[in-house]
Structure 1
Amino acid sequence: MMSLPQKPETYFFKDQRLEIYVPEEQAILDKYRNNKDDAYWAQVWPASIGLCLFLEQHTHLIRNKQILELAAGLGLPGLYAASFAKQITITDKEPLAEVFIKKSAQHLDLKNIITKTLNWKDATKEPLPEVLLLSDVNYEPAVFEELKQVLQFFLERQVTVMISTPQRLVAKPFIMELLPYSSLQWNCTVSLHQKETGVSVFVLK
């Protein structure tokens, strides 16, 4: 598949420096001018940084584990987790997202990453992981019920689910329904593009 014009972006964590590939902003504006919602994959969001910061402090939850990341966008959390995981499959429904994730994984010389174009509702047909990662997926109420069913499938099979969400009002009803499964809640503030965003990470079991 043809890619888009791209540039490297670097993200710093205490134990890692991750240089990943992101699409040029103008190329995204041109490609998705008629449907901006389909372009959400094409940038790094505060919730994905927040999930990396959480994993940085809780590496024991992912060390030597089989991991699946759904709706990964550019895949920053999965790329971060790869240094600790046994193997990680990073997926998004947008084929172009897979192109960028794969290029970043190769650039970072990460050998334990599988990339795949995958809609989350088809994730139940994938090999069962030990850990499921999601960040900033609960932004559209129309898909909350479908997403909840996917999460319940994994929780019923003893998969640990880690979901990172910005503290926005529209996300609250979805999160409230997940709280009975929550074994850990962790909060942070992410600074990105001169803006601060409160992010919460929930570990569901």
Structure 2
Amino acid sequence: MRLPASLSPPGEPLTLRRVDVSFQPALAAPISVFEAASPDEILERALTSEEDAYSARIWPSSYAASSALLECLAAEPGSSVFELGCGPGMPSLVALAAGAGSVTATDWSPLALALTTHAAVSFQPSRAERLETLRLDIFDETSDVDAEWLVAADMLYDSSLAEAVGRRVAMHLDRGGRAVLADPGRPGGRDALLRGMRSKNTARATRAARAGFVEHALPRRWRPSRSAKVSVGICVLEP
């Protein structure tokens, strides 16, 4: 399975697989997402091309972020959602299915945006018109987050990136928005997030920065092995 030619970025097409993810009882039907079919192909592309092949993989944090976002949207149906670093787009696709009024999925990788669009059109055709994809440089702070909810999953793996996420979150909170963050807890990431938030020196961001991540155990499907105990931290921020 491959992306349609109209959506496929330049270069050799990536082999895809469909992944169905259950969010019952919140959603009656599974959410279908596209990702790269072979981890080896992702690694090879990451080593031999400038393409961000890792954006074609579904990471466990995206499941955790989607679950937390579902709880938030259940209380406020019709809210707008903006996803930073969407990758294959699971949180954005979940938001569509949950009845979000509008969803903006952003990433620097054209491949990530193509995967998200293809999944929405293929599996949620009646809702796909509510999805917008946008190529976004997270370090460019001149672009606004125009939504009620900002969601980001596994975006703290690099300190400069984590600080940029923190600045974005702080600006979003200062405008009255809310945020859902999911992070597996790599060393230094959460500290860098807080530095970025505090650098904006706004009362709302400073208050929100005191909120911590609450660890949530992942279902067996998302663990590297059956015996492994894996959790992802969830942080829900309000202005």
TM-score category of the 2 structures, normalised to the smaller one: 0.7 to 0.9
Greater Rg over alpha carbons, structure: 2
In structure 2, relative to structure 1, the CA distance for the partners of 1:68 and 1:62 (3 Å cut) is farther
Report % sequence identity: 21
**8 Å Cα contact 2:162/2:189 also seen in 1:** no
Aligned to 1:107, the other structure's residue is in SS state helix
Task: Return the alpha-carbon distance in structure 1 between the equivalents of residues 53 and 185 of structure 2.
Answer: 21
Say whether 1:31 aligns with 2:45.
yes
Higher share in strand:
1
The corresponding residue for 2:159 is 141
Match of 1:160 among 164, 171, 178: 178
Deviating 4+ runs (over 6 angstroms): none
Q: Which moved more, 1:19-28 or 1:149-158?
A: 19-28
AA aligned to 1:107 is: S
| Structure 1 equivalent of residue 207 of structure 2 | 180
- 1:46 and 1:197 in contact (8 A); partners too: no
Amino acid in structure 1 at the alignment position of 2:101: K
Aligned AA (1:139): Y
The alignment's C-alpha RMSD in Å is: 2.6
Which amino acid in 2 is paired with 1:9? V
Higher relative contact order (Cα pairs below 8 Å, separated by 6+ residues): 1
1:47 paired residue number: 61
Tell me, yes or no, if the aligned pair for 1:22 and 1:100 is still in contact at 8 Å: yes
Gaps of 5+ in 2: 1-8, 198-205
The aligned counterpart of 1:116 is 134
Measured at CA, do residues 104 and 123 of structure 1 come closer, stay the same or move farther in structure 2, by a change above 3 Å?
farther
- TM-score, scaled relative to structure 1: 0.86
Give the Cα separation in 1 of the matches to 2:141 and 2:119: 23
State the partner residue of 1:131: 149
**Structure 1 stretch displaced more, 189-198 or 91-100:** 189-198
SS at 2:139 equivalent: helix
The one-letter amino acid paired with 1:181 is A
Residue 66 of structure 1 corresponds to which residue in structure 2?
Answer: 80
8 Å contact from structure 1 (residues 62, 81) kept in 2: no
